[in-house]
A and B are shown apart, each in its own frame.
Chain A
Amino acid sequence: MRYLPLTQPDRQAMLAAIGARTIDDLFVDVPSEARLSGPIEGLPLHASEMAVERHFSNLARKNMAASHHPFFLGAGAYKHHVPASVDHIIQRGEFLTAYTPYQPEIAQGTLQMLFEFQTQVARLFGCDVANASMYDGSTACWEAIGMAGRITKRTKAVLSSGLHPHYVSVAKTMAKYTGDALDTALPELSAKTDSERLLAAVDTDTSCVVVQYPDILGRIEDLSALAAKAHENGALLIAVVTEPVALGAIKSPGEMGADIVVGEGQSLGVGLQFGGPYVGLFACNEKFVRQMPGRLCGETVDAEGKRGFVLTLSTREQHIRREKATSNICTNSGLCALAFSVHMTLLGEKGLRGLASLNHALAVEAAGRLTQIDGVELVNDSFFNEFTLRLPKEARPVVRAMADRKVLGGVSLGRLYPGVEQLENGLVVAVTEVATDEDIEKFTTALQEVLA
């Protein structure tokens, strides 16, 4: 077996050194009725590298890959071009095969990278500080709701109807156990968000208001009034960003008064990967730092006075505080955070602003072309690189029919909100820098044909 270095003579010599006769002597504490006498039946035996690779190649071919077709899906996961050097860096064994930096003297590479990542995320979100990452955007979102509860000592969270429905589902699952009361609503297929509902719902029992920016339909709205209303009532404003590239073009949530900003970092460096692993982004105002979940990397000095980095404020965390920890989270999403950070570094200020302008311009053009199709209307007044179309019929079968024509043409609201009749004609379309003029043309043609 190619991954196992011990030879048969090694095994014999080691058993002799231990004083055991056979390997079974080392498993004596397993009750005999639970000991298996040979390989588990019904499972294949070991396979060569070539055989395994072939198995996966065959399965991979059964999927429609985004880069092989005109592709316009978003709704919380975005297709962006990832520079070749990102994957090169994250495959360096020193990053790929390292562990959590518990021994900082020999983990400065990971630690300094995390410090840079935290700074990038904090700046992008317009917050004072950020942590070393969470599992993904949806779990970062419910952790933020939990954190707001700890800070305000209140249990009512008001969720915008523009928050990704899966994020709402995750929060609802967790709320069943934590005793939080969630005030939620379904979105309407309209340019108007439900900010009036949110403003009316905030009161002195409210721990937080949660708003996605841009929202699930792609709409962008100034958060300042919500922040002011929340703060008047002693509540926090949590902003959720599922497309961080947008913040290269629009104001950061922190700038508009958000207290906690969380997001999904998949868009930069990580790739689609059928939904995971992704990387949760988590930033907040400095005064709340001791209530944050997850790992934090901080600057310090070594015994010679040289700058260095360590994991810090771990008295918030489960391995020290156990049942009193701010979260049960242990691992973060280190390698995805590295991919995000390398991509951000390569972009820089100029690159991110340019990428955002390009995304927006292509989306505006695509929206213009798609809405020339009879019966297709643009729902949004405002958007960044994602908008919602109202089709003259149910969108879900339309998406399937476009896939038959080899066009991956958006996410239907029927998939996101199954059974909600007033949303079933909605189609969420994301247009990024990977969309060529020809792709947009093929998409327009396919949609036109399917609707005809």
Chain B
Amino acid sequence: MTAINQSGWKPEMTALRPAQDETDVAGTYTGNKALMLEEPLIFEIGHDGSTGIDLAEAPQVASRLGGLQRNRDIGLPGLSEPEAVRHYTRLSRQNYAIDLGFFPLGSCTMKHNPRLNEKVARMAGFADVHPMQPVETVQGALAVIHQLAHWLITLTGMKAVAMSPKAGAHGELCGILAIRAALTARGDARSVILCPESAHGTNPATAAFAGYQVENIPATSEGRVDLEALKARLGPDIAGVMITNPNTCGLFERDMRAISDAVHAAGGYVYCDGANFNAIVGRVRPGDLGIDAMHINLHKTFSTPHGGGGPGSGPVVLSEALAPFAPLPFVDKDGEHYRLVEEETVGEHHDKTFGRMVAFHGQMGMFTRALAYIMSHGADGLRQVAEDAVLNANYILRSLQDVLDAPFAHSGPCMHEALFSDDGMAEGFSTLDIAKGLIDEGYHPMTVYFPLVVHGAMLIEPTETESKATLDQFIGALRSVAGRAKAGDQSLKSAPHHAPRRRLDETQAARKPVLVWREPEQAVAAE
């Protein structure tokens, strides 16, 4: 496999483009631009026979592989350690990250990830224990799970918590399956789950997976659930509602208690999408609002790293009514001894469980990180987290509402995120152009085109780990970009100009998907 740097060095593309006049800059031979370095794929770098790992020679033994020895190459390139380390280091530099700058993705809660959390997660007693070791040999690991569970139950004012779900959407599934199990247990086959239109896509997808029809809950002009319309729809076919609170417009659902009471009176259950719990942690307990189940994204509220798209972790707190149906396994304490309730002991303690959702015990590596974050803040610091997150978001909302349309600015203070629309931009300019303009300014754009209830939505979540100076600079930058979009500045249509790549052709990617690398000659032959 000889290296052809298809991503960068191509003579016809950039090499030695001469300067056009004295203000112009010539192209470079390599296609690199100083610290902006092009990087080929590992398959284009590697050489046959190279490796980055030295291994002991295998002793000669009679094979026991049942006659199934591999006799074809896998097709993996060989790289030495320096080549591999440089490859990934170069790739890393093409990523935006919280460590680099402000990352105000609404609903995603991109807050600082403390390195203490990384350190404790890597302690051998947590990182290097097997999930099926005898429980006597993992008492410290079980203690971490139990302590985190205690914090989550206490902070939310709920009865129990299921720790095993692997991510937020998996937690939603856990909550909905608990609801369905509770209904089945009382012989009540209900068929519909209600979700607002502003819900995360995972809500209807989860309800549909669990076998429910999904119906829409109307919203008021304020951006909140329409309580009267909801009450009118409740009846014996409604298994429950899925409500995000604070909601995805960044607003607290004032009528949450009344919604819960009405749903309960009609025999249904209340699922709360807890993606936005960071806005109220330490100040409000969802249990006081009549919630039956709520997932907590440890990677949002409790700062475990997002890692370029996971792993997440989605424990689900449960009310007294749903606790008996929680999934296996879970950790219990007998005096000073922790035990793991699995299939074996389930009969005596937990016979109503809806079953197992994952092979092992959940995201231990995320539990250690989240608990370290929680203990660092304490009950007082967590309250401050919510306050600063809400303060930062309101500061952004009120500092930008004169240049950007803020459709719910009249609905009262926002919680942890501020929502804007692209109303008022010049003909042909939209949210996408503003987002790409922000990239050139050195920011990760906000969440765009979500929630769906607002045209060209821009959802900005600053989080509590940003300073006022950072917010002020961002506000200035966004005012500038919005001004250009209103004025019809054409250079914004082709932004970003300064990123490692210009706008990428997503239509081509989807029309003729290329999902794996193939040797060039093979790729040509296939066409």
Contacts and interface: CB of A to CB of B under 8 A. Distances in A.
A225 interface: no
B211 A327 contact: no
Interface in A241-255: 247-252, 255
A264 B359 CA distance: 10
Contact of B56 (A170, A358, A418): A358
B65 A170 contact: no
B236 interface: no
Nearest to B108: A99
B505 A361 contact: no
Given A40-B155, A120-B76, A362-B59, A300 B136 contact: no
Interface string B69-108: 1111111111101001101110111111111100101001
Nearest to A264: B359
B177 interface: yes
Interface string A4-42: 111100110111011110010111111101111011111
Contacts of B372: 52, 56
A204 interface: no
A357 B72 CA distance: 15
A109 interface: yes
Contact of B377 (A1, A132, A250): A1
A138 to B, nearest CB: 4
A1 B376 CA distance: 8
B280 interface: yes
B81 A6 contact: no
Interface residues of A, number: 218
Given A53-B116, A306-B7, A108 B52 contact: no
B61 to A, nearest CB: 4
Given A36-B285, A46-B377, A94 B51 contact: no
A403 interface: yes
Contacts of A295: 309
B312 interface: yes
A139 B166 contact: yes
Contact of A61 (B49, B125, B362, B365): B125
Contacts of B208: 323-325, 328
B77 A349 contact: yes
A59 interface: yes
A345 B282 CA distance: 45
Contacts of B134: 399-400, 403
A413 B299 CA distance: 35
B361 A276 contact: yes
A447 interface: no
Q: From DSSP, what is the main secondary structure of chain B's interface residues?
A: loop
B365 A277 contact: yes
A345 B136 contact: no
Contact of A300 (B42, B56, B505): B505
Contact of B68 (A55, A220, A306): A220
Interface in A284-317: 289, 295-310, 312-315, 317
Contact of B517 (A27, A49, A92, A115): A115
A275 B362 contact: yes
B492 to A, nearest CB: 14
Contacts of B33: none
A200 interface: no
A226 interface: no
A99 B309 CA distance: 5
Interface string A368-412: 000000000000111110000000000000011001000010010
A291 B165 CA distance: 24
A276 B84 contact: no
B114 A40 contact: no
Contacts of B499: 105-106
A95 B202 contact: no
Nearest to B390: A26
A321 B205 contact: yes
Interface stretch (B139-147, B225-233, B262-270): B139-147
B125 A170 contact: no
B75 A349 contact: yes
Contacts of B429: none
Interface in B106-134: 108, 110, 112-114, 116, 118-120, 122-134
A351 B378 contact: no
Contacts of A97: 97-99, 110, 113, 305-306
A63 B137 contact: yes
B356 interface: yes
B93 A94 contact: yes
Among A10, A173, A304, A336, chain B packs the most CB atoms within 10 A around the CB of A173
B177 A26 contact: no
Given A1-B381, A29-B252, A79-B130, A123 B166 contact: no
Contacts of A53: 116, 119-120
Q: Which of A62, A89, A273 has the most CB of B within 10 A?
A: A273
Nearest to B442: A106
Given A29-B251, A99-B103, A346-B81, A109 B94 contact: yes
A95 B167 CA distance: 19
Given A23-B391, A63-B125, A335 B305 contact: yes
Nearest to B170: A135
Contacts of A33: 257, 288
B364 A274 contact: yes
B65 A250 contact: yes
Given A20-B394, A105-B439, A355-B55, A136 B359 contact: yes
Contacts of A177: 177, 180, 209-211
Interface string A333-369: 1111010001011111111111101101111110100
A184 B509 CA distance: 40
Nearest to A317: B201
Contact of A357 (B58, B79, B289, B377): B58
Interface in B167-205: 167-170, 172-173, 177, 180, 200-202, 204-205
Given A41-B379, A251-B72, A348-B46, 8 more contacts: A31-B256, A63-B125, A116-B43, A116-B517, A139-B166, A331-B299, A333-B310, A333-B311
In the A-B complex, the 8 residue pairs with the smallest Cβ-Cβ separation, listed nearest first, are: A275-B360, A60-B125, A382-B66, A335-B307, A93-B99, A275-B131, A62-B140, A173-B355
9 contacts: A18-B391, A40-B282, A46-B377, A52-B376, A85-B81, A89-B92, A173-B354, A278-B311, A321-B201
